[in-house]
Amino acid sequence: MYLILLGAPGAGKGTQAAFLSKEMKLAHIASGDLFRKNAQQGTRLGLLAKTYMDKGALVPNDITIGMILERIKEPDCGKGFILDGFPRNNEQAEALEKALKEVGKDITGVIYLKVAEDELLKRLSGRWICQSCQTPYHEVAARPKVAGKCDKCGGKLYQRDDDKPETIKKRLVEYFKQTQPLISFYTGRGKLLEVEGSGEAEAVWGSLKAALKAVKSPSARSRGA
Ligand code: AMP
């Protein structure tokens, strides 16, 4: 299965992709995590990407597309993948479609996590992330058992540089301008599955699993199930 998780920053793509990846044993590829890992390691790609990320801007398409198309060739993607944070604009979506077509593959489905803008702002402004396993926490809605420590792996929690109020606003502007048009792009291709993304992560996961049944059985999707 070749799945895409589409949604605004803070919609819960990372959390739901982690559930999906565990359940379906598919590679979870998060473009933002790849950029942050490169930035932490001080690679050329990472340092360049950071200059855009810190401003809340998208990293240029040639860099991003090259990185993802290389990543999906790796052996762990043999059975499929879940893309989280990619594509983020039409050019990226078209490049992905073309690359998959060249190897006789196609996107199976695009899960759009729909969350209202005021909810996105609330989620992003209180977000803390585990430095080791990337599990997200929230200072009000999802606190760790021990302050500053990840419940899952004990890793240190940190606040992303681009989760500062001014940068959050810019990231949302970029999302509405560049990424939201992908909803009609994938609707036009008959691939879009809309899932209500507000509410508790477990409840969203329940809705997502129900929506995925339509992907596994395309006749159910055409009946509108
Ligand atoms: P994320 O972790 O998905 O919120 O991404 C963090 C930042 O990484 C974004 O604000 C962008 O600067 C950059 N980024 C991640 N994915 C992409 C992409 N597909 N295209 C361009 N920039 C991206």
Using one digit for the tens of pLDDT, what is the confidence trace for 87-145? Answer: 999 999 999 999 999 999 999 999 999 999 999 999 998 989 999 988 889 988 889 99
Looking at residue 161, its pLDDT comes to 85
For 132-167, write each residue's pLDDT tens digit: 988 889 988 889 999 999 999 999 999 988 888 889
Instruction: Give the pTM.
Output: 0.89
| pLDDT confidence of residue 197 | 96
Query: Residues for the chain: how many in total?
Result: 225
The answer to whether residue 219 scores a pLDDT higher than 70 is: no
Listed residue (17, 21, 53) closest to 35, CA to CA:
53
Active site residue 127: yes
pLDDT in tens, 197-211: 998 899 999 999 999
Query: CA-CA distances (angstroms) from residue 72 to 31, 69, 78?
Result: 11, 5, 8
Q: Pick the catalytic residue: 36, 123, 171, 221? A: 171
Q: What does the alpha-carbon distance between residue 125 and residue 121 come to, in Å, rounded to a whole number?
A: 6
How far apart are alpha carbons 57 and 171 in whole angstroms? Answer: 6
Is 171 a residue of the active site?
A: yes
Among the listed residues 36, 88, 123, 191, the single catalytic one is 88
Q: Indicate the top mutation candidate among 59, 96, 113 to test ligand 1's pocket, ranked by most ligand atoms within 8 A of CB.
A: 59
193 Cβ closer than 6 Å to some ligand 1 atom = no
Name the percent of the chain lying above pLDDT 90.
Answer: 81
Angstrom distance (rounded) from CA 204 to CA 209 = 9
179 lines ligand 1 (CB under 6 A): no
> Distance (Å, rounded) from C-alpha 107 to C-alpha 93?
10
pLDDT beyond 60 at 224: no
pLDDT grade for 218, boundaries at 50, 70 and 90: low
Does 88 contact ligand 1 (Cβ within 6 A)?
yes
Tell me the CA–centroid distance for residue 65 and ligand 1, in Å.
12
96 lines ligand 1 (CB under 6 A): no
* Protein residue with its CA nearest to atom 5 in ligand 1: 32
Is 143 annotated in the active site? no
pLDDT digits (tens, 9 = 90+) for 38-75: 999 999 999 999 999 999 999 999 999 999 999 999 99
- Residue in 36, 50, 123, 127 annotated catalytic: 127
